[in-house]
Chain A
Amino acid sequence: MTAQTPVAPADSELIEHIEERALFARLETVRLISIAKTGHYASGFSCAEILATLYYGVMRLRRGEPDWPDRDRFLFGKGHAAATLYPLLADWGFFDAAELDEYTRLGNAFGDHPDMTRIPGIDFSSGSLGHALSAGTGMAMGGRLQGRPYTTFVLLGDGELHEGQVWEAALGAAHHRLGRLVAIVDRNDHSLDGRIDGVTGIEPLLDKWRAFGWQAHEVDGHDVPALLALLRSLAEDTGRDRPAVVVANTVKGKGISYMESEFGWHLGWLAERDEANALAELRGTR
């Protein structure tokens, strides 16, 4: 099959579709964590719109062809939010959605962090924070060396920016003028031990990236029209000679009232009744 999606419906329809898929990703996240009885709710919820916008509105992919050489690449720096990504990859026909029913079971391909050797559509394995921007740098270099026109997107957590290797990659990608590399920072203001500014401050973030030679942008990470416009413009700007970063302001745990900005929900599990309530809240039926 060669049809590339998005199939370019009117933008308003597309935006509605992306928002619906972001909700679907959240609902599936709750379901998968329910199977494992542990997982990362809040980190997945903060980036649900970013993932849905990339996969349904921005990235060039082919349905059922996860290894298409000219596909846009996606690297998940904050790989612990993989449960929010898997349902979207199943949606693209990269594997049977029913496989997710076995999420985290013994010997299953699907764990808390994405594994490129076992899951079609995962462009790079991640889990150790700080590596993905380097690996993405390699993919962008490889694309340029071989004349392939794809864009490489790397989604980073803001806590991940504490890792020194991120800044090695920031220096290197700018030095090598990798215009087809786009980093997105999910700035949800929290890492495992609490608020970022209380753990190790990272501001002023846009100034830092600009000082490293990147084109830097800021956006509301839950505002699909804004995300769509910005990410599309970056993907289509093929003449850019420096990498671009999008600092997406998000809310950790977005979508479930008591999880929002409560860092304890970085990792957790909802028992049956609470899960039903959470799903109802996400669906807007509660």
Chain B
Amino acid sequence: MSVAPGLQPESWHLLSLLEQAPGLQALGDTLADLADEGHPVVVGTADLKYSNGLVRFQDRHPDKYLQFGISEQHMVSTAAGLATTGLRPYVATFASFMALLACEQIRTDVAYTRQPVRLIGHHAGITLGFYGTSHHATEDLAITRSIAGLTVIAPADTAALAAALRATVDHPGPVYFRIGRGRDPDVYPAGTTLEIGKAVEHGTGSDLTLIATGSMVHPALGAAAALSADGYSVGVLDMHTVKPLDEEAVLGAARRSRLLMTVEEHNVLGGLGGAVAELISEHGVPVRLHRHGIRDQYSLIGPPTHLYGHYRLDAPGVEAEAREALLA
């Protein structure tokens, strides 16, 4: 005899996961909208449809939804084959398994063949907290950024994700979308638009420009507000497109600010900090750059919010890091 437990309202299970993650609901919903509008969208995942919100696409377009099971490399190569037939495949899995496990399939089958495959790496960075190092993705920007022909986009929030999906729907080449766990606080209002390769400028500063990407835009804005209230002149660039980098925006910031600080939920090697360092050094702009992120180490396990505090990737942490850099 089974006894139905009297669950407390706070209890939850996999099927209710999406209620906590509006950003991932937006992923499934936006792709379903694009299919409704006649775009040749097909969507696939590797046994994570509840974790990434694509179950919401499956509900609306079961005939355009493909389940691959736990076979990420196969999924990416299959997407390349699908794209050759005129379809536009969007395939998704944890960023660590997308960009690291299936890296060579992305390079050889998708990017080298120039197929319009959309690779969605979700739960990027350290958002999977205590699930451990295998599930953390602090190398994916460095990997995808070095693959020729691959566009790399990390939207800041739910609205920016929807905007990025729409902005790239007719993009001729492959795209890697780096997204979090769908719980990033809102930066932009619903219906916002986004131009690929064009950073969003949130004020300009002569003392400091924070150049942030993805989940770090919100804390960077918080840090900038606190520093501004303290008399510093601070601007923020939302560098949603990590590649191609908005060179004009970075060089402009480099010329008007005495300090640049990149902020990313990623190893400081090879990601946004690396991209900005390469650019300003090639142009010989005399500005100091401080790269803020995970400093070449494997992140600890723990609840994500605690990890953000530990690595100074929340607003107070970014502010503290910036104050030290400004005084250095």
Residues of A contacting B82 in the complex (Cβ-Cβ under 8 angstroms): 138-139, 141-142
Complex Cα distance A141/B97, Å? 23
**Beyond A116-B113, A172-B69, is A124–B84 a contact (Cβ under 8 Å)?**
yes
Complex Cα distance A172/B86, Å? 21
CB distance from A183 to the nearest CB of B (A): 13
Q: How many residues of A contact B (CB 8 A)?
A: 30
Residues of A contacting B87 in the complex (Cβ-Cβ under 8 angstroms): 142, 145-146
A125 on the interface (CB 8 Å rule)?
A: yes
Complex interface: stretch among A128-136, A232-240, A260-268: A128-136
CB distance from B106 to the nearest CB of A (A): 11
Residues of A contacting B66 in the complex (Cβ-Cβ under 8 angstroms): 141, 176
CB distance from B77 to the nearest CB of A (A): 3
B151 on the interface (CB 8 Å rule)?
A: no
Task: Tell me the A152-166 residues at the B interface (CB within 8 Å).
Answer: 165
Complex Cα distance A168/B68, Å? 9
A135–B42 CB distance below 8 A: no
**Beyond A116-B113, A125-B112, A128-B104, is A142–B74 a contact (Cβ under 8 Å)?**
no
Residue of A nearest to B107 (CB): A128
A127 on the interface (CB 8 Å rule)?
A: yes
A84 on the interface (CB 8 Å rule)?
A: no
A146–B74 CB distance below 8 A: no
Complex Cα distance A143/B81, Å? 10
Residue of B nearest to A141 (CB): B82
B78–A134 CB distance below 8 A: yes
Residues of B contacting A141 in the complex (Cβ-Cβ under 8 angstroms): 66, 78, 81-82
Complex Cα distance A116/B114, Å? 10
**Beyond A145-B42, A168-B71, A175-B69, is A137–B81 a contact (Cβ under 8 Å)?**
yes
Instruction: Produce 1/0 per residue, B73-104, CB < 8 A to A.
Output: 11111111111111101000000000000001
CB distance from B71 to the nearest CB of A (A): 4
Residues of B contacting A117 in the complex (Cβ-Cβ under 8 angstroms): 112-114
Per DSSP, chain B at the interface is: helix
Instruction: Produce 1/0 per residue, A102-126, CB < 8 A to B.
Output: 0000000000000011000001110
From the candidates B84, B108, B114, name the one contacting A138 in the complex (CB within 8 A). B84
**Beyond A131-B109, A138-B79, A175-B69, is A143–B74 a contact (Cβ under 8 Å)?**
no
CB distance from B26 to the nearest CB of A (A): 25
A230 on the interface (CB 8 Å rule)?
A: no
A134–B69 CB distance below 8 A: no
A124–B86 CB distance below 8 A: no
B58 on the interface (CB 8 Å rule)?
A: no
CB distance from B118 to the nearest CB of A (A): 14
A135–B80 CB distance below 8 A: yes
From the candidates A128, A138, A146, A175, name the one contacting B81 in the complex (CB within 8 A). A138
B288 on the interface (CB 8 Å rule)?
A: no
Complex Cα distance A123/B85, Å? 10
Complex Cα distance A116/B85, Å? 13
Complex Cα distance A131/B80, Å? 10
Instruction: Produce 1/0 per residue, A154-192, CB < 8 A to B.
Output: 000000000001001101100110000000000000000
Residues of A contacting B89 in the complex (Cβ-Cβ under 8 angstroms): 138
A134–B112 CB distance below 8 A: no
B69–A131 CB distance below 8 A: no
**Beyond A116-B113, A124-B113, is A134–B73 a contact (Cβ under 8 Å)?**
yes
B105 on the interface (CB 8 Å rule)?
A: yes
Complex Cα distance A138/B83, Å? 8
B258 on the interface (CB 8 Å rule)?
A: no
B64 on the interface (CB 8 Å rule)?
A: yes
**Beyond A117-B113, A172-B71, is A131–B85 a contact (Cβ under 8 Å)?**
no
B81–A135 CB distance below 8 A: yes
Residues of A contacting B113 in the complex (Cβ-Cβ under 8 angstroms): 116-117, 124-125
A128–B42 CB distance below 8 A: no
Complex Cα distance A3/B80, Å? 30
Residue of B nearest to A144 (CB): B85
A168–B74 CB distance below 8 A: yes
Residues of B contacting A137 in the complex (Cβ-Cβ under 8 angstroms): 74, 78, 81
Residues of A contacting B74 in the complex (Cβ-Cβ under 8 angstroms): 134, 137, 165, 168-169, 172
B73–A168 CB distance below 8 A: yes
The 4 closest A-B pairs by CB, nearest first: A138-B81, A142-B85, A134-B77, A168-B74
New A-B pairs, 8, CB < 8 Å, besides A123-B84, A125-B109, A146-B85: A135-B77, A141-B66, A141-B82, A145-B64, A148-B85, A165-B73, A169-B74, A169-B77
Residues of B near any A CB (own CB < 8 A): 42, 63-64, 66, 68-69, 71, 73-87, 89, 104-105, 108-109, 112-114
What are 24 contact pairs spanning A and B, CB under 8 A? A116-B84, A124-B81, A125-B113, A127-B108, A131-B109, A134-B74, A134-B75, A134-B81, A135-B78, A135-B80, A135-B81, A137-B81, A139-B81, A140-B81, A141-B66, A145-B42, A146-B85, A165-B105, A168-B71, A168-B73, A168-B74, A169-B77, A169-B78, A172-B68
